[in-house]
Amino acid sequence: MPAQAAAAPSSPSRAAAASGAGYWHTDGRRILDAQNQPVRMAGVNWFGFETANYVAHGLWSRDYRSMIDQMKTLGYNTIRLPYSDDIFKGTQPNGITYANGLNTDLQGLNSLQVMDKIVDYAGSVGLKVVLDRHRPDSSAQSALWYTSAVPETTWIADLEALAARYQGNTAVIGIDLHNEPHDPACWGCGDTSTDWRLAAERAGNAVLSVNPSLLIFVEGVQTVNGQSNWWGGNLAGVATAPVRLSVANRIVYSAHDYATSVAQQPWFNDPSFPANMPAIWDKNWGYIFKQNIAPVWLGEFGTTLQSTVDQKWLAALVDYLRPTSTYGADSFNWTFWSWNPDSGDTGGILKDDWQTVDTVKDGYLAGIKAPGFAGGGGGGGGDTTAPSTPTGLAVTGTTASSVALSWNASTDDTGVAGYEVYRGTAKVGQVTGTSFTDPGLTAGTRYDYAVRARDAAGNTSPASASVTATTAGTGGGSSGCKATYKVSSDWGSGFNADITVTNTGSSTTKSWQVTWEWPGNQTISAMWNASYSQVGRSVTASNADHNGAIAAGASTGFGFGAAPGGAGTPVLSCRAG
C-alpha cells in the first residue's frame, strides 16, 4: 500500500488562512464566506453521537482537543459531526476517559453540552462544523427521515433546536438534514410521505426560520427514474426538481460515494473501469457543480483500500474532485469517511490505536485538502502566525535500516511546540527536539526528507529544504531488473498506468527502484503497491514492504493514477538491491 511521497505539503498563506469568517452563503457552484471569499470544505467525519455512546468516538483514549488539533495539523478544515435525535433527551455520554487529565472539562456534561465543547474548540482553532442528523435514534439508520418513534414533527423540532442552540456561533456553518435517504424515499414524486425533496424543503425552511444564515445540506436518494446509486448518492432529480428554500443562496447538495469494501456495484466490473467513473459521477451529482446550479459536497466517501479496485477508485475520485493547487476553492467540497478507525467497512484516517495516522489514506487526499479558516468561531482572532521555516536539515547518519536527521530550531511568536518529519509526503514522526531517526527502512534505498515546525495553536511552517539519504548496504545481491509500462485507462483529464518489475538477476532481490521522467507536465496523484517521490518531471518509485523480494526471473507490479492524460510511454530505468 502506498503513502504519497512528493514534497512535504506547504503551509497555506496567512491571507488564505484568514478566509472563512462569519456565516457562509452560496454563489452558483461556489461557497463564499461573509467577506465573499471562496472557501473549500475539506474534512473528515467524526462519528459517535449517533451511537449508543452518545458522544464522538475515541474519547476513551484521547482528549477531544488533541483529536481536533491533529485534524488541523493534517490539513483538514471541516468536521461532519453525525448525531441522532436521542441526544435531545438529556442523554449522558459513555465512553469518555478522564484519567491522566484527559477530557476533564467534559465531566458531568450531557451529550449536547459535550457537543458544545467540541464545536467551540473546533471553531477556536479554525475548523468548521456541519451537524449531520444521521439517524432518528441510536439503534439504526432509517430509509426515511421519520419513524413511528421519531415522527417528522420531532425531526423538525430538533433541527430548529440545534439552529437556535448555535445561533451566532459561526463555527457551525450548516446542518445536513438527514443521512442517506433511500428506497422507498423518492425525489419529486409528490407523495409527502416519501418525497425527500419536499421533506427537505419543509425542514430546511424551518431551520432558516430560526437562523437564516445557515447553509442547508441536502443529500440525494437511492433511486431516480429507475436508476439506482448509493444511498443518498443520487441527485439526478435536482435537474428537474431543485430544492426550494425561503432564503436564497443557502442550498448545498450532498452526495455519498463508496468503493467495494462497502458494497459491490456493477460499475466496478465495467471493462473500462475506472475510466467509466467520471460519467457516473456526472450523472448522479457532478452535473450540479459543472452546470453551476449549486455547490456540491461529497459528504461521505471511503474504503479500506485493501483491493486494487478500491485504490483505483479513490485515485480517480480524488482527481474528479479537482486538485486545490489547480482549481483552488472552485472545486467540490468533501468530508472523508471517516476519522474513526472503528468504521467496519472503511476503517479511518486513524489506525486502531486512535493515534497513528494511516498515511496511505491521508496521502491520497493530500491534493484536495484546502486551507484552514479563521479561528475564534469563524470570526477571526487567535494565533494565526506560523513558525519560521526550519533550516539546516541534514543527514547525520545512516545504517542499512535507518536514517538520522538534525536541523536548526525555528522561531515563533508564542513558541514552537514541535516538529513534523516527512518522508516524501508521509509524516513519519513528530518530535519536540531538533533531531529524529527514521527506522525500519530498506537497505540501499534512497529516501527524501523535509521538516515542518508547529506551534501550540496548530499553525505549521512551510516545509524545509529537502535532503536525500541513501541507506547503507546493497540488499539482495541481484545484478538488475527491468520495468515495463502499460496505460490501463486514459480519460483525457487523467489516466491510470501499471508497471511490471522483473528480476533479471540470478538471486532474489530485497528491494527495487524504478525511475523515469515525464515528457510533459504529468503529476502523480496516487500510487499503489509502491511508494514514490516526484520532483518536477522526475519520478522515483520504490518497492512496498510486501513486494521488495522478487525471485530470479519472477515479476511483481505496481500502479498509479496521474494527470493529465496523453502522457505517452516514458523511458524507465530499474535498479535492484
**pLDDT > 90 fraction of the chain, expressed in percent and rounded:** 66
Q: pLDDT tens across 363-408, in order?
A: 999 999 999 887 654 333 345 677 899 999 999 998 877 889 999 9
Give SS3 for 368: helix
pLDDT at 489 (0 to 100): 80
Q: pLDDT tens across 322-373, in order?
A: 999 999 999 999 999 999 999 999 999 999 999 999 999 999 999 999 998 8
Report which of 196, 206, 120 is spatially closest to residue 163, judged by C-alpha positions.
Answer: 206
Q: pLDDT tens across 309-325, in order?
A: 999 999 999 999 999 99
pLDDT at 382 (0 to 100): 47
**pLDDT > 70 fraction of the chain, expressed in percent and rounded:** 92
pLDDT at 488 (0 to 100): 82
**For 504-520, b where at least 16 C-beta lie within 10 A, e where not — what string?**
bbeebbbbbbbbbebee
Q: How confident is the model at residue 1 (pLDDT cuts 50, 70, 90)?
A: very low
Report which of 353, 189, 217, 372 is spatially closest to residue 285, judged by C-alpha positions.
Answer: 217
Q: pLDDT tens across 118-128, in order?
A: 999 999 999 99
Residue 266 CB: number of other CB atoms within 10 A? Answer: 8
Q: How confident is the model at residue 261 (pLDDT cuts 50, 70, 90)?
A: very high
- The region of weakest confidence among 153-162, 334-343, 510-519, 551-560 is 510-519
Tell me the average pLDDT across 522-541: 85
Query: How far apart are alpha carbons 452 and 391 in whole angstroms?
Result: 10
Task: Give the list of residues 6+ apart from residue 573 with CB closer than 8 angstroms, or none.
Answer: 483, 514, 515, 516
Q: pLDDT tens across 443-463, in order?
A: 777 888 899 887 765 567 888
Q: Are the C-beta atoms of 525 and 563 separated by less than 8 Å? A: yes
> Which residue among the candidates 50, 201, 219, 300 is catalytic per the annotation?
300
- Considering the chain, what is the average pLDDT of its residues? 89
For residue 6, is pLDDT > 50?
Answer: no
Q: Are the C-beta atoms of 432 and 418 separated by less than 8 Å? A: yes
pLDDT at 185 (0 to 100): 98
pLDDT at 420 (0 to 100): 83
Q: How confident is the model at residue 495 (pLDDT cuts 50, 70, 90)?
A: confident
For residue 516, is pLDDT > 60?
Answer: yes
> Which residue among the candidates 50, 180, 201, 219 is catalytic per the annotation?
180
Tell the residue number behind the cell numbers 476517559, with chain if given. Answer: 97
- The region of weakest confidence among 73-87, 257-271, 521-535 is 521-535
> 160 catalytic, yes or no?
no
Q: pLDDT tens across 20-58, in order?
A: 989 999 999 999 999 899 999 999 999 999 999 999 999
Tell me the average pLDDT across 181-209: 97
Dihedral sign from CA coordinates of 129, 133, 135, 138:
positive
DSSP at 435:
E
Q: How confident is the model at residue 224 (pLDDT cuts 50, 70, 90)?
A: very high
Report which of 499, 486, 494 is spatially closest to residue 541, judged by C-alpha positions.
Answer: 499
pLDDT at 425 (0 to 100): 55
Tell me the average pLDDT across 143-169: 96
- The region of weakest confidence among 59-73, 233-247, 426-440, 504-518 is 426-440
Q: pLDDT tens across 430-440, in order?
A: 777 899 988 76
Task: Give the list of residues 6+ apart from residue 201 with CB closer than 8 angstroms, or none.
Answer: 243, 244, 245
Tell me the average pLDDT across 67-77: 94
pTM of the model as a whole: 0.66
For residue 18, is pLDDT > 90?
Answer: no
CA 350 vs CA 115, 303, 312, 342: distances in Å: 21, 13, 21, 9
More confident residue, 151 or 506: 151
For residue 84, is pLDDT > 60?
Answer: yes
